Structure 1
């Protein structure tokens, strides 16, 4: 019996596995072999997609936020992902740590320092660059780009997938299965396979973006620490070391590998945050963050819907639309990962904890690290904007770190943080990619180790392709391209969740039924499935 179960776990779905593998190789190898032609192609696609579909990305973002609010505080918020008496698989703090580290990763180490500097010289809404007003908006806008809307987008696929795993008890970990409530048996055919291939391509593209942006940063840190010269070989060496760490993590699975790295990562990240807050201009940072919160609340609707249709200055396309596409591209991986680690939690619990703590975590990084960079620029201590303009993001981050006390210790710790941050994102992604390609896998099982390692290597290959092309536009385009087909998939999954919930729990979701159950002191759940069968659970017993 055990042998049969183990063999079943090792079995891949060839239709999904080989289709995805061929598509990824077809996209990555030409980028690595023909970088100049690849760069020209992606530059043209970037302007085309952002100009044509920018409005769609923005509406998807704000729509997901209001959908999450409705789910959390509406009747569906009480539904538990699992049996009525089932306890959460992970305690709240480790759960939040895994969720945050998987969703944000090393990207925040890149952008927390430099995004406010970019916005200081090129602020939104026609504001003049370099002014006092520009500084306030430069401190606030990253809170928008890394706040409640991105975390709502992350949870869009997470909740339908968790429902499929732990309420409907389906033995596959694929987003196509979460579309069955709308698509029905079409999920079993080519449409379902296409959805899963789109999901895999989206995950690989989103993670590849992080790799393409992050390896140059760590390369610059190594150059500073060891006096090395910048080279493609150095970047490949760093990518190899990263791949080895990630492979170890996914090999050891959720509890021993991914959870361990996430806990280390969270502790180290907030240690460095606290250090900068104490040694930096503490009062200025607190005042600037408080001001940013007010500016964000005052302009929430304006910035969420701003497309700049008349002036066409390019700010929404270069920033907000790129970010929203990035979050959408990451959403499938996060959806599968959050679903897998959220057994025993209610819909409301997942949404409130995910959105609130994810947002506050991001805000802390931008309030402290971003505020510190703004202070260095405004005070004239270091001309960071000149460094950013001439030498790029990695050199700017190094220049900021060198201004801190005991920089000789801070820079190695920051480098370690970058390594672990990206590892927690990529190992989660490799784990989910392996799960999608496995024929049968419950929410209580893990995919085969060789499958996890293979996808770690594939993600590294995509990173090499993007590094060969070089430039921010290349990674922006890869993200925007893979995110676009995910939008209808997110909508179908959300509709499936609502349809299933009202079909399975319809009577229990009415205010009268809820009050009656509370008065009687019983926990009764009636689940009705597509085949007409009903399962009645009383205090967790069938």
Structure 2
């Protein structure tokens, strides 16, 4: 019976993903119109809901870390953490941000600097606004979004012994039988689609940036043939990594990622405007903390709400779309940590790393002024390379960045194949290689086909629209987690009293 259930979810989700890709290829205009219409409806009418939901994830994460439940382990009381803090951080950071940081590290601050909200571009005020908003979009909110889902999943997996599926977090509310029924299967299939679509989009963007970097530095042509070669090479690499498993491939490459990212950060800090970067980090952090509550609920209800739709609401929707994948992966690698330790690791460490990243690369970009800034943001994939070209050792930094893009590409893809293998095999914490290989091929094929057809944007829009229900999944997940924690806490007190 279990095998049949495995195959049902696997076959249905594979069919759904294939059908959606075919729809995008055969009827691209209709697909794009439908996806954009749904996305515009959600952003236009539910922007407030995204803001309230994302803030509630931050508030919940902080509360639960300092609550009486903070000392409870994600696993049996005697379980120890499976990975060192460095390796754990490297894996969760690589899965959670990865390519996005390199892609947007220069481009987003420059966009806000050149075209800020409600002020003149290119000014000192615009530069401060650019830092604050970049920190805000890549700070506590996205990581709290991952944290809520990952915490509920890890608790149900390792403390309660339930399958590693999104539907498992509903067991305390619905009961085991109903959570494993049609509603649970629908949630798991939706999670698989959101994961494949979200990761395929990022892989496509990563391929475009690798190609752009090679073109900018070495004159390698930007065309479909080169992109096919890039995807083919990286696919072979992440397949090898995925097959070797968590403890070897993914862990090793994640550690490589953190090392390369640190080298890139330090090199740019040294050759760039060091004092300006330090000041930008300090001021950006102050603005972020000082205006955190206001920015968390700021929508421009009586002004330019469109800017928030394109930036903040779009990001919040995108992070929610990534939550099933990243949440499942973070849960899988977090056995043996206490709730307080888990929240601190998932929330604080990556947030500080993201702030440093945007201060260094955003500061380096803004320092060059509006002329080079305007040139850089003409094409997001090349923005990083345009800026670095204006600094000493810029060529070396760009080469390291391309290598980092490749390793982030590999770790994002192999983490996703691992998670998809889990999701499509009844939550098996060590899915078989055959299933991982199938999903790896599907991801790469989807990224390549849609990239060549010019449809990555519409796939991104579709995945965000389809992931809207996951905001509700996470809200119910918080309620479900509190319910089961209360019950377990009472049981533990009763046991202690008996002793």
TM-score between the two structures when normalised by the length of structure 2: 0.94
Change (3 A) 1:304 1:48: same
Pair 1:152-2:136 in alignment: no
Residue number among 18, 21, 31 corresponding to 1:25 in the alignment: 18
Structure 1: how far apart are the matches of 2:395 and 2:290?
A: 41
- The verdict on how the C-alpha distance between 1:469 and 1:43 changes in structure 2, with shifts beyond 3 A counting, is farther
TM-fit CA distance, 1:35: 4.0
Q: 1:223 aligns with which of 215, 223, 232?
A: 215
Look up the match of 2:173.
182
Larger radius of gyration: 1
Partner of 1:65: 58
**Structure 2 residue 396 is matched with structure 1 residue 409:** yes
Change (3 A) 1:525 1:274: farther
Which consecutive unaligned segments of at least 5 residues does structure 2 have? none
- 1:455 deviates by 0.9
Q: Offset of 1:354 from its aligned partner?
A: 1.1
Please give the alpha-carbon distance, in whole angstroms, between the structure 1 residues aligned to 2:375 and 2:404: 26
Determine if contact 1:198/1:485 at 8 Å carries over to the other structure.
no
| Cα distance in 1 for residues equivalent to 2:398 and 2:339 | 40
Q: Partner residue of 1:477?
A: 461
How many residue pairs are counted as aligned between the two chains? 498
Query: Is the CA contact 1:73–1:348 (under 8 Å) kept in the aligned structure 2?
Result: yes
- Post-superposition Cα deviations, 1:440-479, rounded to whole Å, max 9, x if no partner, equal 62xxx51101111111111112313441453775355134
Give 5+ residue unaligned stretches, structure 1: 1-7, 514-523, 527-535
Aligned mates of 2:391, 2:81 — CA distance in 1: 41
Partner residue, 1:394: 381
Q: Cα distance 1:472–1:466, how it changes in 2: closer, same or farther (>3 A)?
A: closer
Q: Structure 1's 108 and 245: CA in aligned 2 closer, same or farther, altered over 3 A?
A: same
- Is 2:114–2:373's contact at 8 Å kept on the other side of the alignment? no
Q: For each residue in 1:87-140, what CA deviation from the matched residue of structure 2 results, as whole angstroms up to 9, or x when unmatched?
A: 11111111111111111111100101110111112223x223232211111112
Q: Answer yes or no: is the 8 Å Cα contact 1:68–1:152 preserved in 2.
A: yes
Work out whether 1:252 is the aligned partner of 2:241. no
Q: Distance in 2 between matches of 1:337 and 1:387?
A: 34
SS in 2 for 1:310: coil
Using a 3 Å threshold, how does the CA distance of structure 1 residues 11 and 409 change in structure 2: closer, same or farther? Answer: farther
Correspondent of 2:42 among 46, 49, 56: 49
State which of 111, 122, 135 in structure 1 corresponds to 2:127: 135
> Does structure 2 conserve the Cα–Cα contact (< 8 Å) formed by 1:76 and 1:347?
yes
What is the distance in 2 between the residues matched to 1:156 and 1:358?
A: 15
**8 Å contact 1:176–1:193 — kept in the other structure?**
yes
Q: How does 1:451-490 map to 2 (within 5 A)?
A: 451-470=435-454, 473-474=457-458, 476-490=460-474
Shift of 1:525: 6.7
- Structure 2: how far apart are the matches of 1:525 and 1:437? 40
3-state DSSP of counterpart to 2:83: coil
Q: Please name the residue that 2:198 is paired with.
A: 206
Counterparts of 1:19-418 in structure 2, within 5 Å, are: 19-124=12-117, 126-170=118-162, 172-184=163-175, 185-377=177-369, 383-389=372-378, 392-418=379-405
**Residue in structure 2 matched with residue 5 of structure 1 by the alignment:** none
The corresponding residue for 1:426 is: 413
CA contact (8 A) 1:29 1:465 kept: no
Q: CA RMSD in A?
A: 2.2
Q: Alpha-carbon deviation of 1:145? A: 0.4
Cα deviation digits, residues 152-173 of structure 1 (max 9, x gap):
0001111111111111112x21
Per-residue deviation at 1:209? Answer: 2.7
Deviation of 1:65 after TM superposition, in Å, equals: 0.3
Q: Does the 8 A contact of 2:201 with 2:456 survive in 1?
A: no
C-alpha displacement of 1:412: 2.1
Cα deviation, 1:220-252, whole Å, max 9, x if unaligned, reads 112234322211222222112221111111111
How high is the TM-score relative to the length of structure 1? Answer: 0.87
Structure 1 residue 384: deviation in Å?
Answer: 2.5
- Deviation digits for residues 189-240 of structure 1, max 9, x if unmatched? 1111001011111212221231232221111112234322211222222112
State whether structure 2 residue 423 is matched by structure 1 residue 436. yes
Deviations 1:488-516 (A, max 9, x none): 1112222211111111222547xxx8xxx
Residue 408 of structure 1 and its aligned partner are, at CA, apart by 3.5
